[in-house]
Amino acid sequence: MSDYDFDVIVIGAGPGGYVAAIRAAQLGLRTSCAESRETLGGTCLNVGCIPSKAMLHASELYDEAASGKLAKLGIKATVELDLDTMHGQRRDAVKGLTGGIEYLFKKNKVEWLKGLAAFTGKDSITVGGKSYRAKNIVIATGSSVTPLPGVEIDEKVVVSSTGALELAKVPDHLVVIGGGVIGLELGSVWKRLGAKVTVVEYLDQLLPGMDGEIRKEAAKIFKKQGLELRLSTKVTGVTVKGGKATVTVEPAAGGAAETLEADAVLVSIGRRPNTDGLALELAGLTTNKRGQIEIDHDFRTAIPGIWAVGDVVPGPMLAHKAEDEGIAVAENIAGLTGIVNHDLIPGVVYTMPEIAGIGLTEEDAKARGEVKVGKFPMMANSRAKTNHEPDGFVKVIADAKTDKVLGVHIIASVAGTMIAQAVQAMEFGATSEDIAYTCHAHPTHSEAIKEAAMAVTGKPIHI
Ligand code: FAD
Ligand code: NAI
C-alpha cells in the first residue's frame, strides 16, 4: 500500500482542473481536487464564460425588441427591462452548471478538498489545515484580473468583469478600459440595455492578436452600433467621488489629458496567472517573467510529478484550451499520450455579430510565405440576408503553393458556431479546395465558408 493519499491532486476546479480530475478518475486514478471557491467550475462557470453569455443572450433579445428589430419582422411588443429577472436567470445558469460539476465529481469519485491549497513540498500540499501527499499534483489555479496601477477596483463604481456582470442598474455612462474581449462583450451588454458606452483602447485597433482586417471591420460595426471608441488612448487615472467616476485619458503617443465622467468604469486590460499563496518555492518551482508556470509539451513543470494546465501556463486564456489540456495532462499522468494542438485553438468573441478566428492571421501567414486569400461577405449569404444579419465576412487564407488552409477568420452572427468546421478541416490538413467541394446545407450561414474557400481560387458563385 502506497503512503500517498492520492494518485493525483488537482489544484483548482476551473475548466482545466475539473476536467483533468474527472479524466484522471475515469482512468482509474485515485483523484482529488482542491478548490477554494464555494462552487466548482472556476472563473468560467462562476464569473466568466457562462454568466457573460447569459447576459449577452438576454441583452441581445432585449435589444432586438427594444430597438425595433422585431417590429420589422412584424412582431410588435411593448418592451420593459426587468434587470432583476435578467440577473436571476444569469445566477440560475451559473447555479445549474456549477452544481452539475459537483454531480460529476461525485459520479466519478473525485474528492473535493475544500479550501485554499498551498505546497508544503514537491509531493505534498495543505488544504483547509489538512495535509495531503500525492504522486502527481496538477496546478490549474487559473487567472484573475490584471489591475491598472493607480486605479482601485471597488466592484461598485470601478468594476472588474465580475462586478460588470452584476451592476444593479444600467449606468448612464459606462467607460470601458481596454478594447479586448471582455471590454467588447460586457460593453455590448450594457450598451444594449441602454447605457452610453465609451471604450478606451491603448492600441490603434480593438482585439489585439486577431486578423487585422477583422479588427478594422469589428471597429466599424461596433461604431455603427453606437459604441464610442477611443483608440490610441490610454487611461492614466480614475477618481471616484459621490458614486461617480472621473476617468483621465490621454493620447497613447503623449499629449494633452482630458477627463470623462462616468457612472461605472470597467477595468478589462487582461488577466494574470494565479500563483500567489501557492508557496511554489516549497515545491522548488518558479514562474516566468509573465508570472506563468512553464511546462513542456506534456504539461510537465520543471519538477517531476508536478504538472500545470490552463490560464496559469503560457498560451491563450481560454476555457476550451484549458479543458483540452486537462484531458491531455490526465492521460499523460496515466501513461497514455495526451496531446493538444496549440496551433489550432479557436478564439471567439460573443458580441453581435460574433467574431471568430482559427490558425494564422493574414499578416502572420504572409510573413511566412506566399498566400492566397478568399473572402465572402455575409451580405451575399442567403440565410444571413434573410435573417437581417448582413454584417461581416468570412476569410479563408491558404498556402499559395499547397493550397493548405492556414487560417479562417469570420465576423458573422453565428461565427462561433461556424468556426468549428474550419477548425476540424484544418485539424485534418484540409486544402481550400477540400472545403470548396464539401457539400454545405442550404440555406445556412456556413455556406459562406464554402464560398470563401471557393474565392481562394477566384470562383465563388454568389458574388
Ligand atoms: P479558472 O477557471 O480560473 O479556475 C481556477 C480555479 O482555481 C478557480 O476556481 C480558483 O478559485 C481556484 N484556485 C486558485 N488558486 C487556488 C488555490 N491555491 N487553492 C484552491 N483553489 C485555487 N473563455 C472562453 O473560452 N470563452 C468565453 O466565452 C470566456 N468568457 C470569459 C468571460 C469572462 C468575463 C472572463 C473573466 C473569462 C472568460 N473566459 C472565456 C476565460 C476562461 O474563463 C478561462 O480561460 C478559464 O476559466 C481558465 O480555466 P482554468 O481552469 O485555467 O482556470
Ligand atoms: P484582452 O487582452 O483581451 O484585452 C485587453 C485590452 O486592454 C487590450 O486591447 C490592451 O491593448 C488594452 N489595454 C491594456 N492596458 C490599457 C490601458 N492602460 N488603457 C487602455 N487600454 C489598455 O483582455 P481582457 O478583455 O481583459 O480579457 C482577458 C482574457 O479573458 C483574455 O485573454 C480572453 O482570452 C479571456 N476572455 C475570453 C472570452 C472569450 O473567449 N469570448 C471572453 C472574455 C474573456
pLDDT value, residue 2: 75
pLDDT digits (tens, 9 = 90+) for 170-183: 999 999 999 999 99
Distance 279 CA to ligand 2 centre (A): 28
pLDDT digits (tens, 9 = 90+) for 133-170: 999 999 999 999 999 998 999 999 999 999 999 999 99
Q: Does 375 lie in the same domain as 280? A: no
* Position 306 in a domain: yes
pLDDT value, residue 447: 98
The average pLDDT across 15-32 equals 98
Q: Does 75 lie in the same domain as 12? A: yes
pLDDT value, residue 133: 98
**CB of 36 closer than 6 angstroms to any ligand 1 atom:** yes
pLDDT value, residue 160: 98
Is the pTM above the cut of 0.95? yes
pLDDT value, residue 150: 87
Is a pLDDT exceeding 70 seen at residue 432? yes
Q: Does 314 lie in the same domain as 183? A: no
**CB of 39 closer than 6 angstroms to any ligand 1 atom:** no
Is a pLDDT exceeding 60 seen at residue 1? no
Q: What span, in angstroms and rounded, lies between the C-alpha atoms of 264 and 390?
A: 32
Active-site residue 388, yes or no? no
**CB of 200 closer than 6 angstroms to any ligand 2 atom:** yes
pLDDT value, residue 159: 98
Note if the bond before 51 is cis, omega within 30 degrees.
Answer: no
* Position 1 in a domain: no
Q: Does 213 lie in the same domain as 141? A: no
Q: What span, in angstroms and rounded, lies between the C-alpha atoms of 336 and 328?
A: 9
Q: Does 288 lie in the same domain as 263? A: no
pLDDT value, residue 213: 98
Element housing 261 (H / E): strand 258-262
Note down the domain range covering 313.
Answer: 6-145+272-333
CATH of the domain at 395: 3.30.390.30
* 3-state SS class at 185: helix
**CB of 292 closer than 6 angstroms to any ligand 1 atom:** no
pLDDT value, residue 62: 98
Q: Does 238 lie in the same domain as 309? A: no
pLDDT value, residue 182: 98
Closest residue CA from atom 4 of ligand 2: 180
* Position 30 in a domain: yes
The average pLDDT across 372-390 equals 97
Residue among 440, 442, 445, 462 flagged as catalytic = 442
* Position 86 in a domain: yes
Q: Does 276 lie in the same domain as 254? A: no
Cβ contacts of 66-71, under 8 Å, gap ≥ 24? 69/388
Query: For residue 11, what are the contacts with CB-CB under 8 A and spacing of at least 6?
Result: 17, 33, 34, 117, 125, 137, 138, 139, 140, 141, 278
Q: Does 175 lie in the same domain as 111? A: no
Distance 376 CA to ligand 2 centre (A): 28
Q: Does 402 lie in the same domain as 326? A: no
* Position 345 in a domain: no
Q: Provide the number of structural domains found in the chain.
A: 3
